[in-house]
Amino acid sequence: MRLEAARQEILAEHVQLRDLVSALDTAALSARQEGRIDLLRAAARALAAAFLRHIEHEESLLSPALANAMQVRALLAEHEAQRAAAERLLELSRTGPPGDLAHVSRHFCAALLDDMAYEEEHLLRARPEVGTRA
Ligand SMILES: [Fe+2]
Ligand SMILES: [Fe+2]
């Protein structure tokens, strides 16, 4: 796949993940105000599952396209920690105490928003000089 097409796919997934973060924020509010823990569980599950699919996809598309081995290693190391955090969120979404789920969800969302901003700034910027060599 061409680098630009891969970049666009990843950016489109980031848009979807941001929507799921917003949905989880809304669900956390419903859980607090109306006791709708079911909505919080469903939204946390949806975000964690989508994120796990995203990092798999990102690794398959981006690793070969990244400019140097340092970036690839940094991406993979970051993904390992993120995968563990997403698995934990998934587990809590099933049977975890609502307070813990809300707390972990908040942290997960904040870290994910930071991570996507970092990737977009440092790894996913258009690099015409790379594209012309491909
Ligand atoms: Fe990533
Ligand atoms: Fe990403």
Q: Is 131 domain-assigned?
A: no
The H or E element containing residue 22 is helix 3-34
**CATH (domain of 41):** 1.20.120
The CA distance from 134 to 131, in Å, is 5
pLDDT given for residue 74 in this prediction: 85
Query: Which residue segment(s) compose the domain that 112 sits in?
Result: 3-123
Q: Which ligand lies nearest the alpha carbon of 10?
A: 2
Question: What is the Å distance from ligand 2's center to 116 Cα?
Answer: 5
Q: Is 61 domain-assigned?
A: yes
Q: Is 69 domain-assigned?
A: yes
The CA distance from 7 to 131, in Å, is 11
- In 3D, which of 21, 40, 7, 28 has the Cα closest to residue 134? 7
- Please report the DSSP string for 61-128 in residue order: HHGGGSSSHHHHHHHHHHHHHHHHHHHHHHHHHHHS-HHHHHHHHHHHHHHHHHHHHHHHHHTSS--H
User: pLDDT tens for residues 1-45?
Assistant: 677 888 899 999 999 999 999 999 999 999 999 999 999 999 999
Q: Is 91 domain-assigned?
A: yes
Q: What is the mean pLDDT of residues 112-128?
A: 86
Q: Is 81 domain-assigned?
A: yes
Q: Is 134 domain-assigned?
A: no
Q: Which ligand lies nearest the alpha carbon of 11?
A: 2
Q: Is 80 domain-assigned?
A: yes
Q: Give the pLDDT band of residue 123 (cuts 50, 70, 90).
A: confident
User: pLDDT tens for residues 93-109?
Assistant: 999 999 999 999 999 99
Q: Which ligand lies nearest the alpha carbon of 75?
A: 1
pLDDT given for residue 1 in this prediction: 61
Q: Which ligand lies nearest the alpha carbon of 81?
A: 1
Question: What is the Å distance from ligand 1's center to 5 Cα?
Answer: 17
Q: Is 133 domain-assigned?
A: no
Question: What is the Å distance from ligand 2's center to 124 Cα?
Answer: 9
Number of domains in the chain: 1
- Is the pLDDT at 91 greater than 60? The verdict is yes
pLDDT given for residue 16 in this prediction: 98
